[in-house]
Structure 1
Amino acid sequence: MKLKIGACHEKMKGIFGYRRMQVWLERTYCIHVNHKRVQRLMGELGIRAVIRRKRSYYGKKEAYVLSGNHLNREFIANQTNQKWVTWIVNTKLDNFFMVPLLEFSRTQVIQRTVNPNMVKPVHIVM
């Protein structure tokens, strides 16, 4: 039994603990043995599982919703109500969201909406 445990430890490069070692013995050699016995035999052999470090996941994440560049850095408007801009500001101190609405011909904030949580949509009423 100890020879089979040692062979598994070498074959799997030492990553199996006693639980996976017990499953491997059952599947490979059809040996039904208690996990406590496998743990004791591994302790007698001085075999311990190598704990692998966790790797950060750099997989595909949800894409940001980006709107097109409609202004092309032309922030000056000739007529009233020609160019309007809004954005979301999150304050860290009070943890609320502020949505200002800016009109470029007068370069002033027309309306501010304050929302404590952005679960509900922000409605801008004029």
Structure 2
Amino acid sequence: MVKELKAEFNLSCLLKAIGLPKSVYYYHRKRLAVDEPNEGLKAQIQDLYHQHKGRYGYRRITLALRSSGALINHKRVQRLMNELGLKSKVRPKRYRSYKGHVGRIAPNLVNRDFMAN
């Protein structure tokens, strides 16, 4: 709103009329001018995630980004993946039914009779 009326009126008068300090106005103007630093990184993370069909977690994505030459921390990748809502698929545990020889009795190696008279 201030941006449209700035051409017609003085900036300090406009800010005083809406009760906004100058510092807040300039802070927000500066924030709008700066691009998000993680946007390119988010795109790379999404590409890697979808390229590997959701099987890569933050650790493997971090390694893939580092191998491509990016200096990045695993905590940053984890935070960005949480923001994007990307979660890796967890491998299910395999069924293991082998129990060995069940009910096997050990041989009597001593062969003594321990009967009391």
User: Under a length normalisation based on structure 1, what TM-score does the superposition of the two structures give?
Assistant: 0.46
Richer in helix (by share) = 2
Larger Rg: 2
User: Under a length normalisation based on structure 2, what TM-score does the superposition of the two structures give?
Assistant: 0.49
Richer in strand (by share) = 1
